[in-house]
Amino acid sequence: MERTKFESSIGESYVKAELPSGLKIYIMEKPKYSSAYAVFGTKYGSIDTAFSKNGGEQISVPAGIAHFLEHKLFESEDGDAFTRYAKTGGYANAFTSFDRTCYLFSCSDKFYENLEILLDFVQNPYFSEETVKKEQGIIGQEIRMYDDSAAWRVMFNMLSCMYENHPVKIDIAGTVESIAEINADLLYECYNTFYNPSNMFICVVGNIDTEKVLKQIEASIKEKPAVTIERGEFFEPQTVDKHYIEQKLEVAIPMFCYGYKQKIATPNRRLKSKVCAALLLELICGETSPLYARLVREGLINDEFDTEYFTGHGYAAVIFSGESQNPKRVAQEIEAEIERIRVEGIDKKLLSAVRSAMYGEAIRRFDSVEGVAMQLIECAMTDSDLFEELKLLKSVTAEDVYKRLDLFDSENSVLSVINPKN
């Protein structure tokens, strides 16, 4: 087993190991903490609706199958994993996003018993046509519930205007029609492709012993030949389909997502690019920015306002979201501020303040075992170093941040609004 220890100037360290099967393991000991957190994940999400394995023919699968698989994996012929966790006192959960599926637990006792459950059920799928049909009804209800969620719809309405062909525009759970096409054979096909150790990772943080964890994982992981996965490429126009979309739902205040679609086919996912984008978003409309203060003072936004650099395989966008009685005015003010910075340049004094605030926030994340685990998932997904962000926050320049203005093109902007029904 190959392993490397990474240390930081803030007194934290972690171990990254790799098994011969290709499974990557990230472990950070936090001996002063009473709890532990573990994640078993795969680089497989809702956008993976077309793929080929080991150079074979490309196949297409129904939207929502990654999320469907996440639900079904907890089940076995003998019961389900939640029942087993109830006996050990572990809190278990899972989630599927656009590019990953993760199974996790947290506990303050019996960590190694809980880890045994995690390693077991994720590696032992059990699907039958009868249980698949039952799950179609359950997930169908979940999809209909999200159809009435304003926070969910305002985001996906925006993505539906931004993207013509990329599956990022489709709800993570799929549609009622798409999940009706799922069967046990398709679930096994996707499982055997994406749940291969070479495409997976394990992250462990907390009051644990690194050597003991590594030995338990090494003894439990099933050896399988590595797979080569070719993900489908979706021809995506560089322009957006529509600039504005609105819908009426049960909300008290209008909600909005205002986004800029990035024009490049393969977005830059390097951490430096993300850090510079995050700094720029704070300069434009972060809590310490002049624009944010003015919009709050004028009652145009409230503390629900947020920003995000949203990027993955084949897609990227910058998003401003929140609540406002006048979303169009907010979008106009954001666009005007971007143009002002483009002309006047970066305020270096404000950049220094924003950089310090982000550095402090990055340090505080190490105080949470869950927070560190989520960061380690990002390391696994992007093959980056957990401490690289801290270094970049000290080293990036105003010129580096200014270059990220290439993210903003008003011709590629979309405003999505959810208005009250009455």
DSSP code per residue over 23-77: -EEEEEE-TT-S-EEEEEEES--TT--EEEETT---EE--TTHHHHHHHHHTEET
Q: Residue 414 class from Cβ within 10 Å (0-12 exposed, 13-18 middle, 19+ buried)?
A: buried
Residue 387: closest CA among 84, 8, 107:
8
Residue 154: closest CA among 240, 62, 253:
253
Q: Residue 57 class from Cβ within 10 Å (0-12 exposed, 13-18 middle, 19+ buried)?
A: exposed
Residue 248 has which token pair?
């009426």
Active-site residue identified among 12, 18, 29, 70: 70
Under 8 Å CB-to-CB from 178, ≥6 apart: which residues? 62, 63, 64, 170
3-state secondary structure of 152: helix
Angle, to 10 degrees, between the axis of helix 184-194 and the axis of helix 129-147?
80
113 catalytic? Reply is: no
Strand partners of residue 312: 315
3-state secondary structure of 120: helix
Residue 48: closest CA among 273, 269, 315, 257:
315
DSSP code per residue over 309-322: EEEETTEEEEEEEE
Active site residues: 70
